[in-house]
Amino acid sequence: VTEIQWWHAMTGANNDVIVKLANDFNASQSDYKVIPTYKGSYPDTMNAGIAAFRAGNAPHIMQVFEVGTATMMAATGAVKPVYKLMTDAGEKFDPKNYLSAITGYYSTSKGEMLSFPFNSSSTVMWVNLDELKKVNAEIPKTWPEVFEVAKKLHDNGHPTCGFSNSWVTWVNLEQLSAWHNVPLASKANGLDGFDTKLEFNAPLQEKHLEKLVELQKDKTYDYAGRTNQGEGRFTSGECAIYLTSSAFFGNVKAQAKFNFTAAPMPYYPDVKGAPQNSIIGGASLWVMGGKSADEYKGIAKFLTFLSDTDRQVYIHKASGYLPITKAAYEKAKAEGFYKDQPYLETPLLELTNKEPTENSRGLRLGNMVQLRDVWAEEIEQALAGKKTAKQALDASVERGNTMLRQFEKTAVK
Ligand SMILES: O=P(O)(O)OC[C@H](O)CO
């Protein structure tokens, strides 16, 4: 048996999905064995993979979050592009079968798919319906409505958290910008070239951060960390409004002892044309370079196995990640799945709400993992009252641009 090492960052219900997929694949044939290994958070998994590659013992498949894409794309030689892997292995593969909002993110401008879009998500607003009912509130649609409902929640049984979010920069900078059709960075947020400059120290983002800073003072808003470590605060009932990935679904379903839904991200009604469309999150699978033809054959078979329509529908229903193929989305619709659980369609409706613009196709910034840390550090300073929102965003942009120029020098040939 040829072993295929698969490093990933999934926990809880989503880890169960990974284990089941590997077991089912292993049971379906006897030539290959996929071995999944949890390597920590997305940033940790990516760092572990890069270190292993440098030491000459990279895994076969690495799950890399969407913001690691530019770094992986620039690492030619370290990776085996998926479109090439499939052709070399003689596996049937048509990129047109996949949803373009997703594949665009992981393909070259020529449409060559570089990584396999395994688990894509978008940001949604998770709502504890029982708690909203207690304060007589409707599901808020706009940010001013969120602030109002959060104040009520805070004053009526939620003193430590009116609302919160995971992935602080994803929600409050990256998605916020796309959803309001304003740039995070020039050159279509980096999709049109690595010579991009950050531009998010602008009125919308500044107004939003100022509001969070103000509401943090009495915990009407309460910060919950850089990655998804704070999500338990929603399922425990502490925070009744919580913005994070649609892929929080599996854990919500398993743990929440209350009625819930996932509503679209709120928007500022004074921004003309808002809401625009959201961008994807989640991760894709990168196949590492330097493996044998037999190993590549097994990996290609595994990617075909993952693309199967019923399997895609299963992943979607179990995790809240998007169905990545058109056929799987159609099948979920035809089964009437969204009639019972309309909130699982929310991220798809957000992604396709309007035709994407330069500001809302996605983003591709080098050193993005490090950029996110810098931006989060600055936002944390603002929330702690050590800087104004404007100072924090100006510093995020300035420090970030320096890092982008470093990336351009070292990683782009
Ligand atoms: O929780 P996920 O997997 O949907 O990922 C959320 C963010 O996109 C991570 O960058």
| CATH classification at residue 48 | 3.40.190.10
Instruction: Clarify whether residues 284 and 257 are in a common domain.
Output: no
Residue 163 lies in a domain: yes
Assess whether pLDDT exceeds 90 at residue 411. Answer: no
Q: Mean pLDDT in the chain?
A: 96
CA of 125 to the centre of ligand 1 (A): 14
Within-domain flag for 98: yes
pLDDT of residue 413: 45
Residue closest via CA to ligand 1's atom 5 equals: 282
User: Are residues 20 and 108 located together in one domain of the fold?
Assistant: yes
For residues 200-208, give the mean pLDDT. Answer: 98
| Ligand 1 closest atom vs CA 166 | 6
- First-to-last alpha carbon distance for the chain, in angstroms, is 39
Is 351 within a domain?
no
Q: 292, 316, 334 — which closes off a domain?
A: 334
pLDDT grade for 380, boundaries at 50, 70 and 90: very high
Is the model's pLDDT at 412 over the cut of 70?
no
Kindly give the distance from the C-alpha atom of residue 336 to the centroid of ligand 1, in angstroms, as a whole number: 27
Within a domain: 380: yes
Does some domain include residue 345?
no
**Any long-range contacts for 384-393 (C-beta under 8 Å, 24+ apart)?**
385/213, 388/210, 388/213, 389/206, 389/209, 389/210, 389/213, 390/201, 390/206, 392/209, 393/200, 393/201, 393/205, 393/206, 393/209
The 3 state secondary structure assigned to 280-304 is: CEEEEEEEECCCCHHHHHHHHHHHH
Q: How far is the CA of 63 from the centre of ligand 1 (A)?
A: 11
Considering the domain architecture, whether residues 6 and 56 belong to the same structural domain is answered as: yes
318, 334, 350 — which closes off a domain? 334
Same domain, 383 and 238: yes
For residue 237, the model assigns a pLDDT of 98
CA dihedral 175, 367, 400, 407 (to 10 degrees): -140
Domain of residue 367: give its range: 123-277+360-411
12-28 and 309-319 helices, crossing angle to 10°: 160
Tell me how many domains the chain contains. 2
Task: Assess whether 203 and 317 both reside in one domain.
Answer: no
Q: Is residue 166 part of a domain?
A: yes
Provide the sign of the torsion angle of the four alpha carbons 268, 379, 125, 345, taken in this order: positive
How many whole angstroms from 280 Cα to the centroid of ligand 1? 8
Q: What ipTM does this complex have?
A: 0.98
90 & 149 share domain: no
Residues 247 and 267 in one domain: yes
Between CA 366 and CA 80 the distance in angstroms is 19
Asked, as a colleague might, if the bond just before 275 is cis with ω within 30 of 0, I would say yes
Q: What percent of the chain has pLDDT over 70?
A: 99
Mean pLDDT of 179-202: 96
State whether 95 and 152 are in the same domain: no
- In this structure, the answer to whether residues 65 and 173 fall within a common structural domain is no
Within this chain, do residues 109 and 130 fall inside the same structural domain, yes or no? no
Probe residue for ligand 1, chosen from 245, 246, 248, 348 as the CB with the greatest number of ligand atoms within 8 Å: 245
Do 51 and 108 fall into the same domain?
yes
How far, in Å, from the CA of 406 to the mean position of ligand 1?
A: 26
Is the model's pLDDT at 285 over the cut of 90? Answer: yes
Q: What is the pLDDT of residue 109?
A: 83
Model pLDDT for residues 143-177, shown as the tens digit of each residue: 999 999 999 999 999 999 999 999 999 999 999 99
Which atom of ligand 1 has the smallest separation from the CA of 246? Answer: 4
**Count of CB atoms within 10 A of residue 255's CB?**
14
Residue 104: per-residue pLDDT? 86
343 located within any domain: no
Closest protein CA for atom 4 of ligand 1: 282
Does residue 132 share a domain with residue 99? no
Query: How much distance in Å is there from the Cα of 409 to the middle of ligand 1?
Result: 28
Determine the 3-state secondary structure of 364 from DSSP: coil
Residue 348 lies in a domain: no
Q: Which atom of ligand 1 is nearest to the CA of 228?
A: 1
Residues with CB under 6 A from ligand 1: 42, 65-67, 119, 121, 167, 170, 228, 245, 247, 281-283
